[in-house]
Amino acid sequence: MKKLNFIIGMFLAFVLVMASCQETALDESLADQNLKKGQMNKEKVTGFDEWGFNWNAQQFNGYLVNMMLGDAFFDGWPHYKQHVYNGEGQEFWDMLVANYDYWIYMMPFELLDTKLNAHWNTGLISKEGGYPATWVDSDGWIVFKYSGVMDGQCWSHMRKLVSSRSTDMLVDGIWYNAEGEEIGFESMYWPELIVVQVVNEGEMPPFFYDEYNSPWGPGYGKYKMSE
């Protein structure tokens, strides 16, 4: 998803068990790039595109690598909507590295066949695929659910993130609310979002967070701004 400190990331990333198991060389650091305000166009974008996005339904379903190849966040980047991964493996990876010399910093090769299902709300991304100037105080949230196979065994990783408030404080990687209560931890790829829950199943690849539940509660309601 969009110019995050992104992804192996919306992230990287800015992340379900899929049907199969049923931060360089960049000219500027992804962490320093601003979120875009723009919309893809004025028309409602419906249905899933070939990369796996359904902007109107606010979800993604497909290969993790296709999220980065087709995310409107990367509009204007050389790789944006130039390729679609369909499981070609090493050949496809070699093509990406050869054509985009920054690509190797965006995602480990070991995650090439990782599947991703993501859901978000309008506070995070509009139904036209537009990203706000900031996620702070936006009531935004997103859930990433990754899945794959390692050593013949299925694994899955779910992480839930919510937008920070202007009154929240980040201290040594931990987010606290105005009352000093721990509400989550820092996302490496989404600096304005807070990780409030992580659930792992199976033997995880070495690129994911350990399990976590916010002491303040992992539900969305507690993180919404007061009416």
Question: Which tens digits make up the pLDDT trace of 137-162?
Answer: 999 999 999 999 988 899 999 999 99
Furthest-apart CA atoms within the chain: distance in Å = 52
Q: Which residues are CB-contacts of 76 (< 8 A; sequence separation ≥ 6)? A: none
pLDDT of residue 45: 61
Could you tell me if residue 27 is inside a domain? yes
Q: Which two tokens stand for residue 203?
A: 């033997």
Give the pLDDT band of residue 23 (cuts 50, 70, 90): very low
Q: How far apart are CA 188 and CA 195, in angstroms?
A: 10
Give yes or no for residue 30 having a pLDDT over 90.
Answer: no
In a domain, 11, yes or no: no
In a domain, 114, yes or no: yes
Q: What is the residue range of 91's domain?
A: 19-218
List beta partners, residue 193. 163
Distance CA 226, CA 36 (A): 26
Kindly state the tokens that stand for 189.
């790829």
What's the mean per-residue pLDDT of the chain?
83
14 belongs to a structural domain? no
Residue 95: the pLDDT is 97
Q: Residues of the chain with pLDDT > 70: what percent?
A: 79
pLDDT value at position 175?
97
- Count up the domains in the chain and report the number: 1
Distance CA 77, CA 90 (A): 23
pLDDT at residue 13, rounded to an integer: 35
Query: What three-state secondary structure class fits 61?
Result: strand
Q: Is the dihedral of CA 17, 141, 186, 93 positive or negative?
A: positive
In the chain, what are the helix, strand and coil shares in percent, each to the nearest 5? 15, 25, 60
In a domain, 170, yes or no: yes
pTM: 0.81
Buried b (16+ CB within 10 A) or exposed e, 148-182: beeeeebbbbbbbbbbbbeebeeeeeebbbeeeee
Residue 35 backbone phi and psi in degrees, to 5: -70, 140
CA 227 – CA 225 distance, rounded (Å):
6
User: Is residue 154 in a domain?
Assistant: yes
Average pLDDT over residues 74-101: 96
Rounded Cα distance between 186 and 135, Å, is 14
